[in-house]
Structure 1
Amino acid sequence: MLSIIGLITTAIVVILLMGKRFSPIIALTIIPFLAAIVAGFEMSEIANFYESGITKVMGVAVMFIFAILYFGIMQDVGLFTPLIRKMLQITGSNPVAITCGTVIIAAIAHVDGSGASTFLITIPALLPLYKKMKMNPYLLLLLVGTSASIVNMIPWGGPMGRSAIILEVDPTDLWRPLIPLQFVALLLLLALAFFLGLKEKKRIHKLEENIDT
């Protein structure tokens, strides 16, 4: 019964958040509170749940806040700008180099663990280049999203933080064994980007031939 109530509570919270009719604070506090009452827990037990939950997430929450503020300041002062400009210069007008460069740029931009800042940095910088080269913009979204998902396993990233809370371990200890996997995954993604870049190059070449004829 508790599992069913938990699943229903999660579904309601997701629906409310996606509907954008309620504040996340309300959806994430009031709904679980009502669910706990329906499950038959007393007020003292619910208070202990809230206290225990806050204690578990406090350390990770502080890490999130620090990472977002620190890397946000670093981005504002232009720490990553020279790296991104250099990558754009290297890629030039070669679709294969552009797709591979997209993976590297997205990986660098996502060091802060914030998806919003990653897309705000990479999409405005690369989308004009993709349009100029007549490359598929969905390819840009695919490469940026996949690259960010790989780098997102860092300790201050959302998935790692939530996993650490559930497993009750330090996020850094959980991350260390995954570092080699991240490098392997990025290499595999670069190989995929190279393959997709070749296909995109052939598609653009055929498109230009059809226009000429």
Structure 2
Amino acid sequence: MLSLFGFLTICVFLGLILTKRLSVLLSLILVPVLFALIGGFGAKETGEMVLGGIKQVAPTGILLVFAVLYFSLMIDAGLFDPVIRGIINLAKGDPLKITLGTAILAMLVHLDGDGTATFMITITALFPIYKKLGMNKLILPCIVALSAGVMHLVPWSGTVARALNVMKTDPAHLIIPILPSMIGGILWVLFVAFWLGKKERKRLGVVQLDYNHQQELSDEQKESRRPALFWFNAVLTIILIAALILSLAPPSALFIIGFAVAILVNYPSQAEQRKRIQAHAANVFSVSIIVFAAGVFSGILTGTKMIDAMALSMVSIIPKEHAGYLPALVGVTSMPLSLVFTPDAYYFGVIPVLKTAATHYGINSIEIGRAAILGQMTTGFPLSPLTASTFVLVGLSEVELSDHQKFTFKWAFGTTIIMTIIAIAFGAISIL
């Protein structure tokens, strides 16, 4: 019976959010609470499971809040402006250099893990250049999408935060083993940028270009820039990322301290500090509140033992002789499923079941999480019609979503396939 209630919870949850009859936030809270009560669990017991789930995701929620604030602050201060100027100066109207520069810029900007911000910054900065040169307008959103996709594996992105939450682990165990895959993905994206740029250079040749990035900034953006503090911000960011990778302290603590130092040095007056925080408050709130709602969902499914019951049902269906391929299968299918499942539906509805099933088969369950983030709403999110940032990308690029998907899908799927192969080769996911 618990298995039935578990599957009904997930199906109703998926149905409500895919048909947009109820928001993700409310679905994550109301659906599991309803089925817990129907399943015979009392109000007090259900409430305790809700609080238990929230406590489990609290570190992830705090990490997201301060990581997004930190990198948003670095963008405001102009940390990436020299990179933009450098790309323009080095490219000198050469389509090949521009496509490579686009990939590098998008990867650097996407260190904040926010797709919308990445698309707004990179497309706004580079679209006029592509337009002046007469380059294929599908190439810019393609390269930016691929670059953001592979960099979306940073521990503070919304997708990885969901995976960390579901897998009940930390970045050191989830992310470090797939760093070779991430490096391979980055090299693949640079290859694609080189390939597409070479074709455009052959078609257009090298064109004389006169373009000034600073003239494209708004008055508010110019006012928030801190060019004198560039090296301070660069060193601080490098130290912060190194400390995160080396696990010198909990990620949330690192970003809390990093943000406090950064905003104090860059914007010493309290009025400036309030203005910068308020500028990003809506984005921070919308990301973090989902994490706590997800805690309710996972807390109830775990506390009621519905997850265990569903996993046992799956164990009886999946042939034991093929169970060892489960992590690899998750990796290969992860990117295409971004077009079908929202990150919440996939990570909170599908992965918990696969995770527990893997445990029953003697597979290290964390491999399911590693395989999932190789594509599902990482390399796949900039093509998915289920994410708002995708429409920001195609809208600013002045292309149709269908055209973008047709042009970019093979390259994005290729990124996931390459990263999955590397993950298997390096033992991050196994084939038993």
Report the TM-score when normalising by structure 1: 0.85
Of 7, 11, 16, which residue of structure 2 is paired with 1:7? 11
**Residues 87/39 of structure 1: CA separation in 2 closer, same or farther (3 Å cut):** farther
Secondary structure (helix, strand or coil) at the match of 1:199 reads helix
Q: What is the letter of the counterpart of residue 202 of structure 1?
A: K
Residue number in structure 2 paired with 1:125: 125
User: 1:26 Cα deviation (Å)?
Assistant: 3.0
CA distance in 1, matches of 2:202, 2:44: 66
| Aligned residue pair count | 201
Q: Rate the CA distance shift 1:40–1:196 in 2: closer, same or farther, 3 A.
A: farther
CA distance in 1 between partners of 2:70 and 2:113 (Å): 11
Q: Which moved more, 1:4-13 or 1:139-148?
A: 4-13
1:50 and 1:83 map into 2 onto residues whose CA distance is: 45
Could you tell me how far apart the structure 1 residues matched to 2:36 and 2:134 are?
54
Residue 42 (structure 1) shift: 3.1
Residue 173 of structure 1, CA deviation? 2.9
Provide the secondary structure at the position in 1 that maps to 2:175.
helix
Q: 1-side partners of 2:132 and 2:182: how far apart?
A: 32
Alignment of 1:192-203 (within 5 A): 192-203=192-203
Give the 3 Å change call, closer, same or farther, for CA 196–62 of structure 1 in structure 2. same
Which region of structure 1 is more displaced relative to structure 2, 32-41 or 71-80?
A: 32-41
The one-letter code matched in structure 2 to 1:68 is: V
Encode CA deviations 1:58-104: one digit per residue, 9 max, x unaligned. Answer: 11111111111111111111111112211222122111111111110
Counterpart of 1:86 in structure 2 is 86
Decide which structure has greater helix share: 1
In the alignment, structure 1 segments of 5+ residues that lack a partner are 206-213
- TM-fit CA distance, 1:24: 5.0
Q: Deviations over 1:146-179 (max 9, x none)?
A: 1111111111112222112122111233211222
How far is the alpha carbon of 1:120 from its aligned partner? 1.3
Name the CA distance, whole Å, in 2 between partners of 1:161 and 1:45. Answer: 27
Deviation (angstroms), 1:193: 1.0
Partner of 2:167: 167
Give 5+ residue unaligned stretches, structure 2.
Answer: 206-432
CA distance in 2, matches of 1:165, 1:72: 23
Residue type of the alignment partner of 1:13:
I
Change in CA separation of 1:86 and 1:34 when aligned onto 2, cut-off 3 Å:
same
Residues 13 and 28, structure 1, Cα contact 8 Å, conserved in 2: no
Aligned position for 1:47: 47
Cα distance, 1:39 vs structure 2: 4.7
> % of aligned pairs identical?
35
Moved more, 62-71 or 180-189: 180-189
Contact 2:9 2:32 in 1 (8 A): no
SS at 2:19 equivalent: helix
Does structure 1 retain, via aligned residues, the 8 Å contact 2:102–2:140? yes
* Equivalent position amino acid for 1:28 in 2: L
Ranked by relative contact order (alpha carbons within 8 Å, sequence separation 6 or more), the top structure is 2
Judged with a 3 Å threshold, the aligned counterparts in structure 2 of structure 1 residues 99 and 40 are, in CA distance, closer, same or farther, namely farther
* Closer, same or farther: CA 176–201 of 1 in aligned 2, 3 Å: same
How far 1:38 moved relative to its partner? 4.5
1:181-205 deviation digits (Å, cap 9, x = unpaired): 2222111111111111122333446
